[in-house]
Amino acid sequence: MFKRKPATILITYSLVLCSVLSLTACSPRDISYFFKSPAEKQAILHKSPAFWDDTAKVEDSSNLSILHNVAFEGHPYNDIRQFGDNILMVGQGSYNNSIIEAEGQSVEYSFDVYNPWSNKITASLAHDKTDCDDYLIKGDKLWLINSSAKRATIYDKDLKEIKTCKYNPEDYEGNGDSDDDNVPNPGNYYDAMQIATSDDGKYALVSGVTPDTYKYVVSNVNLKDNSVVSTFEGQSYSLSRVDSHGFVVETDASNNVWSYHSSDGKDTFFALPNVVDMSLAKDGDILIRCQKLSSGNDTNDTDGEAAGSDTISCYKYSPGTGVTSSFSFNPDARYADAQSTGSPSDADTQTYYSANSVYLADAGCMMILLYTAQCNPEILVWSLDKGHNDTQASITSYSDSDSLFQALRDAGTYVSPYDTANIDEGTDENEEALKEAGIDSDSDRYGDEITLIPDVSAYDWGDLSEINAHATRLEQKYGISIYLGPEVPKKIDYYKIKQTLKVKTLSDALNALEQVLACFPDDFFNQLDYGGTKGLRIYLSGNITAENSDMINDPSGFVNIINNYNVMVLNCSYSWDFSYTVGHEISHLIDQRLAFIHTYNDKSEFSEEKWNSFNPDSFSYDDTYANYNPDDSSNHISGYFIDSYGMTFATEDRSEIFGTAIDDYINGIYDDARFTDDSPIRNKLDYYSRCIRDGFNTKGWPDTMAWETVLTAPNAQAD
């Protein structure tokens, strides 16, 4: 009997265990869970995360919950960060039961590792054990930075110290990426910077300038083999995120425009304001968090409103299908009932959001820390597969940025980066800045409208049909855009523009323009697309007038870069002189490219210092138009400058010489005395021609370009 009793107990226990296993699948609540390996336990927890046990549904919401873990209470958490497979709870307080720094009390960091899968704090680093003023997270390693001591202490995922090393802030970006010497740069970009790294550490987002086309680009680099996955032509101005599916970057800060560039090279553009955080979901969707300041969020408000918490809105956005899940949340609403009864005392306490959020792919949720100054942290949990809580949520996708900008213009929400109406008035600094720019604070909106006829295919051109067809042929040949007649806006840049609808005037101007364009190789104008520029737009207009000081009042033409496009406006009244006028304006566009290249490649031929060496000793340009008088040639230094206009700016000097050379070529002038012998003007053109050949891809170009003809003509040779 005695020897069989243990066997009976064992059999009974086994039967109970089998009974349990037969009723339920294995979970953290099953007895079998305790017999699993750590890896097996973690896999089980990923399928059935324990943090859900401590959550409560947010009232009137289908996809929001509040996670209140008693282990959080009393901790001055003010941020959460992804930390390997866990969440790093970041505390920053003065440790007097308040996050707010009091006079004479220092603010110190503390850190807890929270395992959401087991719903437990697994490691801690108390504030009195840290000696840092900043921190970095690299995968599952924590770097604590002491800037004054130039020291970094590194901890593992269990917050055990690994080592201490020297630290130079200039060697690291804010996201923990290494210095420029270690930036993955398979494209050999100039000014390469690593602006983002994927959560799994397998991909890097690198921005820079291409060495062949000198365009701004952002590339997704596979760190395993240092190969470029895909490249977006453009810049990033703010948040950037990358993974194996693609990357998202902000491309226009003025209009809150974002671009998602997929790994197969497709671009999707959308506009969304107040974005403060983004994550890339494992299914290729984008998790976007926006935060709009409440009207009473400032405790110093003078409008009588009480301080309030900000409202956040989040969207699960697919570039292909739009918004599939969303919510809008303001923590003040949770205290509405308590406020109406005058209790509890915490009802008036403002709630803040963490700067960062954590995306848990296996749990299908995103977490945002909610906290108060009195150290009452909770976590807002957004279930991504539970549909919409914000029924107004909508994001419209566009396949190109121009279509998006046109939609913003149609809606009246487009903001020009040059629009002075958006500059806050009422301060001496702003008024002075406008005056220095020669701009009246009451002036009309900056002229950057593209065309007055968006849909030219449906427009009846009438008597201008043949001219419009002629312009279309030139557009296709040279890769440019031409706007004429009723298309021309009434204001471009800070100039007022008059349209011309006369058939003969436009026909003569277009013929003259074609003659000048023929002086350049077919690929020349495509090469003017450098940096962030995307094309050339030419406007054939009537009179051009300027009302601001320090500007030519009645120019025959002008150029500028407007919304990333080279823009050239030509007064058709001067079409008889287009060979000079257009050549002059094209030189300005050439100048911009050469100066841009020299910024990144100091070995380029072009430099202002070299150009100035061809001028008289002690000469300097006016660098203003204020002193220029076309009727007074007394200041003209003959032999060095075409005219006194070339003495205003170095770029005007080059444009006067280049425009004259083009004019000589078209009119068959081979004995222009200004380019003969060893004249300074001839030497300037010779140097400028070398700069152009150095700054452009000249493959397929003729041995002698149109503007170089005066240099090779028999009468132009030096003695």
With respect to residue 182, please indicate whether it lies within any of the assigned structural domains.
Answer: no
What confidence tier does 29 reach under pLDDT thresholds 50, 70, 90?
low
Number of domain units in the chain: 5
pLDDT in tens, 243-277: 999 999 999 998 999 999 999 999 999 999 999 99
Looking at the structure, tell me whether residues 461 and 542 fall in a common domain. yes
Residue 437 is classified by DSSP as T
What is the C-alpha separation between 112 and 130, in angstroms, rounded?
A: 12
Question: Order of strands, edge to edge, in the sheet holding 365-371?
Answer: 55-57, 64-67, 378-383, 365-371, 352-360
φ, ψ dihedrals at 33, nearest 5°: -60, -35
Residue 174: the pLDDT is 41
Cα 690 from chain centroid? 35
Residue 686: the pLDDT is 97
Residue 302 is classified by DSSP as S
407: left (phi over 0), alpha (psi -120 to 50) or beta: alpha
More confident residue, 508 or 522: 508
Give the closest residue to 642 by CA, choosing from 670, 681, 614: 681
With respect to residue 357, please indicate whether it lies within any of the assigned structural domains.
Answer: no
Residue 233, token pair as written in the block: 């032509």
Looking at the structure, tell me whether residues 548 and 654 fall in a common domain. no
* Residue 435 confidence (pLDDT) above 50: no
Residue 335: the pLDDT is 56
Tallying the residues shown for the chain, one arrives at: 719
Residue 387, token pair as written in the block: 């549909």
Question: Concatenated DSSP letters for 489-511?
Answer: -SEEBTEEE-----HHHHHHHHH
* Residue 175 confidence (pLDDT) above 60: no
Instruction: Decide: 527 and 535 in contact? Cβ < 8 Å.
Output: no
Looking at the structure, tell me whether residues 609 and 626 fall in a common domain. yes
Residue 336: the pLDDT is 53
Query: What is the mean pLDDT of the segment spanning 3-27?
Result: 39
What is the C-alpha separation between 569 and 592, in angstroms, rounded?
A: 17
* Residue 374 confidence (pLDDT) above 90: no
The alpha helices in 289-381, defined as continuous H runs, are: 336-341
Q: Which residues of 513-543 are buried (b: 16+ CB within 10 A; e: fewer)?
A: bbebbebbbeebbebbbbbbbbbbbbbbbbe
Going through 237-362 in order, the beta strands assigned E by DSSP cover: 240-243, 246-252, 257-262, 267-271, 275-280, 286-292, 311-318, 322-329, 352-360
Residue 482, token pair as written in the block: 């031409």
Residue 277, token pair as written in the block: 């955080």
Residue 548, token pair as written in the block: 């601001």
* Residue 531 confidence (pLDDT) above 50: yes
Query: What is the mean pLDDT of the segment spanning 41-51?
Result: 85
Residue 424: the pLDDT is 40
* Residue 376 confidence (pLDDT) above 60: yes
With respect to residue 527, please indicate whether it lies within any of the assigned structural domains.
Answer: yes
With respect to residue 364, please indicate whether it lies within any of the assigned structural domains.
Answer: no
Among 394, 413, 446, the domain-final residue is 446
Residues whose CB falls within 8 Å of the CB of residue 648, separated by 6 or more in sequence, listed in order: 621, 622, 623, 624, 625, 627, 628
With respect to residue 210, please indicate whether it lies within any of the assigned structural domains.
Answer: no
Instruction: Decide: 652 and 684 in contact? Cβ < 8 Å.
Output: no
What confidence tier does 582 reach under pLDDT thresholds 50, 70, 90?
very high
What is the C-alpha separation between 159 and 122, in angstroms, rounded?
A: 9
Residue 543 is classified by DSSP as -
- CATH number of the domain encompassing residue 160: 2.40.10.480
pLDDT in tens, 112-141: 999 999 999 999 999 989 989 999 998 889
As a whole-number percent, the residues of the chain with pLDDT over 90 amount to 64
What confidence tier does 463 reach under pLDDT thresholds 50, 70, 90?
very high
* Residue 610 confidence (pLDDT) above 80: yes
Residue 310 is classified by DSSP as P
Give the closest residue to 232 by CA, choosing from 189, 287, 271, 182: 189
More confident residue, 415 or 195: 195
Looking at the structure, tell me whether residues 517 and 537 fall in a common domain. yes
Instruction: Decide: 445 and 421 in contact? Cβ < 8 Å.
Output: yes
Instruction: Decide: 539 and 484 in contact? Cβ < 8 Å.
Output: yes
What is the C-alpha separation between 169 and 179, in angstroms, rounded?
A: 9
Long-range (24+ apart) CB contacts under 8 A made by 239-243 are 239/275, 239/277, 239/278, 240/195, 240/196, 240/205, 241/196, 241/205, 241/278, 241/279, 241/280, 241/286, 242/196, 242/197, 242/198, 242/203, 242/204, 242/205, 242/280, 243/198, 243/199, 243/200, 243/203, 243/280
Residue 455: the pLDDT is 86
Q: Are strands 227-233 and 565-571 parallel, antiparallel or unpaired?
A: unpaired
Residue 245, SS3 per DSSP:
coil
What confidence tier does 181 reach under pLDDT thresholds 50, 70, 90?
low
| Average pLDDT value over all residues in the chain | 85
- Look at 170-174, 248-252, 455-459, 487-491 and tell me which has the smallest mean pLDDT: 170-174
Asked if the peptide bond before residue 344 counts as cis, ω within 30 degrees of 0, the response is yes
Residue 270: the pLDDT is 96
Q: What is the pTM of this model?
A: 0.82
Residue 187 is classified by DSSP as T
φ, ψ dihedrals at 215, nearest 5°: -100, 150
Residue 98: the pLDDT is 64
Query: What is the mean pLDDT of the segment spanning 625-641?
Result: 86
Residue 229, token pair as written in the block: 């996955």
What confidence tier does 581 reach under pLDDT thresholds 50, 70, 90?
very high
* Residue 21 confidence (pLDDT) above 50: no
With respect to residue 264, please indicate whether it lies within any of the assigned structural domains.
Answer: no
* Residue 152 confidence (pLDDT) above 90: yes
What confidence tier does 177 reach under pLDDT thresholds 50, 70, 90?
very low
For tokens 């806050």, the residue is 424
Going through 573-700 in order, the beta strands assigned E by DSSP cover: none
Residue 549: the pLDDT is 67
| Residue 75 lies in domain | 69-169
Q: Measure Cα distances from 667 to 51, 578, 580, 662, 670 in Å.
A: 82, 11, 10, 9, 9
Residue 637 is classified by DSSP as -
Task: State the greatest distance between any 2 C-alpha atoms of the chain, in Å, as a whole number.
Answer: 130
- Look at 76-80, 182-186, 386-390, 559-563 and tell me which has the smallest mean pLDDT: 386-390
What is the C-alpha separation between 147 and 553, in angstroms, rounded?
A: 55
Residue 629, token pair as written in the block: 């008088």
* Residue 303 confidence (pLDDT) above 50: no
Residue 668, SS3 per DSSP:
coil
Query: What is the mean pLDDT of the segment spanning 548-576?
Result: 91
Query: What is the mean pLDDT of the segment spanning 68-83?
Result: 94
Looking at the structure, tell me whether residues 554 and 464 fall in a common domain. yes
Question: Order of strands, edge to edge, in the sheet holding 257-262?
Answer: 240-243, 246-252, 257-262, 267-271
More confident residue, 453 or 302: 453
Looking at the structure, tell me whether residues 479 and 433 fall in a common domain. no
pLDDT in tens, 583-593: 999 999 999 99
Angle in degrees, 0-180, between the axes of helices 503-517 and 650-666, rounded to the nearest 10: 100
With respect to residue 339, please indicate whether it lies within any of the assigned structural domains.
Answer: no
What confidence tier does 95 reach under pLDDT thresholds 50, 70, 90?
low
* Residue 635 confidence (pLDDT) above 60: yes
Give the closest residue to 356 by CA, choosing from 135, 53, 55: 135
Residue 242: the pLDDT is 96
Looking at the structure, tell me whether residues 459 and 549 fall in a common domain. yes
Looking at the structure, tell me whether residues 457 and 526 fall in a common domain. yes
What is the C-alpha separation between 90 and 81, in angstroms, rounded?
A: 8
As a whole-number percent, the residues of the chain with pLDDT over 70 amount to 82
Residue type, 433: A
What is the C-alpha separation between 352 and 350, in angstroms, rounded?
A: 7
What is the C-alpha separation between 600 and 238, in angstroms, rounded?
A: 22
Looking at the structure, tell me whether residues 630 and 716 fall in a common domain. yes
With respect to residue 455, please indicate whether it lies within any of the assigned structural domains.
Answer: yes
Looking at the structure, tell me whether residues 38 and 111 fall in a common domain. no
Residue 485, SS3 per DSSP:
helix
Residue 627: the pLDDT is 83
Looking at the structure, tell me whether residues 512 and 434 fall in a common domain. no
* Residue 57 confidence (pLDDT) above 50: yes
Q: Are strands 544-546 and 257-262 parallel, antiparallel or unpaired?
A: unpaired
Looking at the structure, tell me whether residues 561 and 452 fall in a common domain. yes
More confident residue, 549 or 144: 144
Among 537, 555, 576, the domain-final residue is 576
Question: Concatenated DSSP letters for 368-385?
Answer: EEEE-TTS--EEEEEETT
Instruction: Decide: 232 and 217 in contact? Cβ < 8 Å.
Output: yes
Residue 396, token pair as written in the block: 């419209």
Among 152, 169, 186, the domain-final residue is 169
